[in-house]
Amino acid sequence: MRLRILQLSFFVTLLVFVPAFAQEDDDTTPDTHVVVTATRLDDPPARTAELPAAVTVLDRDAIARSGARNVQDLLALEAGVIVYDQVGNDVEKTLDMRGFSRGRGIAVFVDGARVNDSRNNTVALEQIPLAAVERIEVTRGSAAALAGGGSEAGVVRIVTRRGETSPQAAVSVAAGTFDSLRLDGSYGQTLGRFDVFGAVSHDTTDGFRLNSDGKQTRADATAGLDLGGERRIALSLLWSDLDYGNPGALTLAEFEANPLSNTFNVLDDSERRTTQAALNFQGPVGAGFSLATNLSYRDETAETLSTGRSGSGFFLDADGATWSGTVQATRPFSAGPGDHVLSFGLEGLDGETDSLGFFSTPASPGPFDPASADSVNTAGAFNAGLFVQDAWSPSPKWTVVAGARGDRNRVTYDETVPNPAAHDERTFSEISFRGGATFRPSESFDVHLAYADAFLPPTAEELFAFPGFFSNPDLVPQDARTYELGARARGSRGTVDAAGFWIDTRDEIVFDPNSGPFGQNVNAGSTRRRGVELTLKGTLARRVHAFSALTYTDSEFTNGSNDGNRIPLVPEFRASAGIDAGLPAGLSIRADGLYVSDQVLDNDAPNAQAELPSYTVVNVRLAWERALSRAAGSRAGRLGLFVEARNAFDEVYATRGIYAFDLSTLTNDTFVTPAPGRRYLLGVTWRM
């Protein structure tokens, strides 16, 4: 019934929107002047209508209206996105796109600095406070020619806020189910040529099941200086401290008996502290050139205790630091028919992580003596890339983009304990291309055709870190090719974005539970992902906005013993729909829903096990806001209240399932990660 409600909402929205696209746009039409990052760094930006790629831009207003607490929840309703929870606390969730899973298919940048973990390409998006985010750009499709390795599914760019001419200030306090408490504050202002913005958030909760409690504190600060002549230099700082229990998964029988139970993972937890600084410069430098540069430093420490179901555990203490830098030059010029925008540059990254490991028992998880570690190792990653791109506009209706990038990746591993002789390194080199064309017959419609390469080099964890357990030093990079055809329509009442994609991947790295005594990472051969993404956003009536998104993904292995089988953790269908409505007396209401179809279990490449069942989740948020003073020029601000219900129908579901060996029974079994049921949050806000 809930799926039918979502489908009905989607098609009603479609029927309302379509007639609007017969009308020509004017300057007030949504999306007409939305710009996105068209090169590695934001110089110069391009209109979405000129970029041969499927792009979604979420601005500050959309972020605020969503009520989301982290990037994963915000993007979960967007076309092509996959979100699931593999640790069980509903916070540290994995995000990917276009049929890629395990959190390795996207490259994520915050203010131009890459934030993927150099050990495994994953990224902890929950570390980024949404109160500090100005906009998020999601560019789908292989993007190695732009972003380097680990961008097979696409790129997510996050831009933090900056001070404006008028002071900006906001405070929010909220409390709800599971003894949850949320505090947010932000302030920004421009003083002459200097601008500053800062935001901080703090969350605590007892969790929806045993050992899913935790707390997180996140802060961001940005300071910029206008150097004149359209030149600006800015320093942004990101800091987070997350401490959460990891209640893990339940067997299918345990889940069906009590989805909120937890017997074995009552001590598992992770504490992660991250500090990142990014220094950016952008502006003209003479001779028709403009320059964009980024220099960043990232430090991360993580302490993780994993006990599992075996009666023993492992405590990992890791400390890593990464330097990265990008320099990009851009110059517009005219040659032959039309105009060109040429961009070229170089990028480098050098990261190293020191790890100490200790075996433990659940009865005695710590403390630990660093001098008696059971495992001591250092994993390193060095990446260097050269890139070039030309955007050619032979006429106002056409834009043709061509680009290339060469990357060299080196992975190193040194072990002191238990095997001092364990030292190895691998080097991989890749050349990636992208090309595409956009045709705009009118300001209200455009179509694009694109091709792009991507690759994912094996990481230190996959190659060396667990000899005899999972790692495989013979791995080679997996490579992907994306073909895409898309269209965008903009009318007086809304927008439609549609894209069809085809991604062929060879040498895909997967975990094979039947390889070796405990399973092993292997190059599984070739795979194919193809699908359709459709997004509709617009205005149904005055102060009534609606959105719908539908994703169909056909993903399968295309050779070997699993030829024709579906790829694990990739739902065929995802549908979302929602509405934002302004009501009288300062009231507003938002309702959204997400349907996710059945998924093949992780590790079940043979497709021999029962699939993870589909689920539907509906959220509702009611808000009220009114000015504290009607006097002209008053700085009293606006006071607001809100109440929200997440999973309003109390759906019992799991977002991830895996077929794995159960050490407590010494047999293979199906495990699922429960999601929280219905919960409420009530809060008060003030903003200026």
Per-residue pLDDT, 365: 67
Asked if pLDDT for residue 291 goes beyond 90, the answer is yes
- Asked whether the predicted pLDDT for residue 28 surpasses 70, the reply is no
In the predicted structure, residue 564 carries a pLDDT above the cut 60: yes
pLDDT bracket for residue 12 (50, 70, 90):
very low
Sort 31 into a burial class: Cβ within 10 Å, 0-12 / 13-18 / 19+.
buried
pLDDT at 292 over 60: yes
Name the token pair of 63. Answer: 């972020």
pLDDT class of 209 with cuts at 50, 70, 90: very high
458-484 pLDDT per residue, tens? 988 888 877 666 788 999 999 999 999
Q: Using one digit for the tens of pLDDT, what is the confidence trace for 326-340?
A: 999 999 999 889 999
In the three-class reduction of DSSP (H, G, I as helix; E, B as strand; rest coil), residue 60 is classed as: helix
The half-sphere exposure of 668 on its side-chain side, counting CA atoms within 13 A, is: 13
pLDDT tens-digit profile of 343-386? 999 999 999 999 998 988 766 766 567 778 898 999 999 999 99
Find all residues with CB under 8 Å of 524, minimum gap 6, and list them: 507, 508, 509, 510, 512, 557, 560, 562, 605
Is residue 307 very low, low, confident or very high in pLDDT (cuts 50, 70, 90)? Answer: confident
Q: What is the model's pLDDT at position 335? A: 87
**Residues 147 and 155: beta-carbon distance below 8 Å:** yes
pLDDT of residue 11: 47
The number of CA neighbours under 13 Å toward the Cβ of 262 is: 25
Cα–Cα dist 553/596, whole Å: 12
Q: What DSSP line would sit under 471-517, residue for residue?
A: --TT---EEEEEEEEEEEEEETTEEEEEEEEEEEEES-EEEETTSTT
- What is the per-residue pLDDT across 636-650, written as a single tens digit (0 to 9) for each? 899 999 999 999 999
| Dihedral Cα 14, 18, 21, 22, nearest 10 deg | 180
What is the distance between the alpha carbons of residues 634 and 286, in angstroms, rounded to a whole number?
Answer: 44
pLDDT of 610 strictly over 90: yes
Mean pLDDT of the chain: 90
Q: How far apart are CA 236 and CA 160, in angstroms?
A: 8
Is 101 within 8 Å of 572 (Cβ atoms)?
A: no
Asked if residue 393 lies in contact with residue 338, where contact means CB atoms within 8 angstroms, the answer is yes
CB 143 within 8 A of CB 86: no
Q: For residue range 522-560, what is the model confidence (pLDDT) as tens digits?
A: 888 899 999 999 999 999 888 899 999 999 999 999 998
Higher pLDDT, 518 or 245: 245
Q: Which two tokens stand for residue 508?
A: 């895909």
**What 3-state class would DSSP assign to 626?**
strand
Can you tell me the distance from the alpha carbon of 595 to that of 585, in angstroms, rounded to the nearest whole number? Answer: 33
- Asked if 96 and 104 count as a contact pair (C-beta separation under 8 A), the reply is yes
The distance of Cα 382 from the centroid of its chain, to the nearest Å, equals 23
Give yes or no for residue 32 having a pLDDT over 60: no
Q: Sign of the C-alpha dihedral, residues 20, 25, 29, 35?
A: positive
pLDDT at site 312:
78
- Residue 436's closest CA among 81, 142, 56, 1? 142
Cβ atoms within 10 A of the Cβ of 562, count? Answer: 19
Q: With bands split at pLDDT 50, 70 and 90, how would you rate the model's confidence at 103?
A: confident
Q: Are 42 and 234 in contact (CB under 8 A)?
A: no
- Closest to 320 (Cα-Cα) out of 268, 237, 380: 380
| Average pLDDT estimate for 482-499 | 94
Q: Is the pLDDT of residue 387 over 60?
A: yes
Structure tokens at 352: 């190293």
Q: Are 520 and 558 in contact (CB under 8 A)?
A: no
Residues 165-207: tens digit of each pLDDT: 888 999 999 999 999 999 999 999 999 999 999 999 999 999 9
Strand 587-596 and strand 527-541: pairing? unpaired
pLDDT number for residue 219: 96
Please say if the pLDDT value at position 308 is more than 80: no
Share of the chain above pLDDT 90, in %: 70
Confidence of residue 662 (pLDDT cuts 50, 70, 90): confident
The predicted pLDDT at position 460 comes to 85
Tens digits of per-residue pLDDT, 35-76? 889 999 988 778 888 999 999 999 999 998 888 889 999 999
- 557 by DSSP, 3-state: which? strand
Positive or negative, the CA dihedral 7, 13, 16, 21 is negative
Residue 25 has pLDDT above 70, yes or no: no
Tokens 């599914």 — which residue?
153
pLDDT of 469 reads 66
Residue 373, H or E segment:
none
Q: pLDDT for 402-431, tens place per residue?
A: 999 999 999 999 999 988 888 899 999 999
Confidence of residue 29 (pLDDT cuts 50, 70, 90): very low
Q: Which residues contact 127 (CB under 8 A, 6 or more apart)?
A: 115, 218, 238, 240, 242, 272, 274
The amino acid sitting at 116 is N
Q: Name the DSSP letter for residue 132.
A: G
Q: Average pLDDT in the 127-155 region?
A: 92
More confident residue, 208 or 19: 208
Per-residue DSSP letter, 361? B
pLDDT above 70 for 21? no
First to last CA, the chain: 42
Does residue 30 have a cis peptide bond before it, meaning omega lies within 30 degrees of 0?
Answer: no
Q: What is the per-residue pLDDT for 465? A: 73
Check: pTM over 0.85? Answer yes or no.
yes
Share of the chain above pLDDT 70, in %: 93
Q: What angle do CA 36, 38, 130 make, to 5 degrees?
A: 40
The whole-angstrom separation of Cα 160 and Cα 223 is 11
Smallest CA-to-CA distance from 580 within 537, 603, 546 is with: 546
Using alpha carbons, list the distances in angstroms from residue 323 to 115, 294, 302, 352, 382.
11, 11, 18, 9, 10
Rounded Cα distance, 353 and 346, in Å: 24
Non-local (6+) Cβ contacts of 677 within 8 A are 208, 260, 647, 650, 651, 652
In which band, very low, low, confident or very high, does the pLDDT at 33 lie, cut at 50, 70 and 90? low
Domain range for 366? 2-687
| Pairwise CA distance, residues 646 & 525, whole Å | 41
For β-strands 250-251 and 667-674, DSSP reports them as: antiparallel
pLDDT reported for residue 1: 53
Domains held by the chain: number: 1
Cα–Cα distance measured from residue 132 to residue 198, given in angstroms and rounded to the nearest whole number: 7
Task: Say how far residue 23 (Cα) sits from the centre of its chain.
Answer: 35
CATH number at residue 285: 2.40.170.20
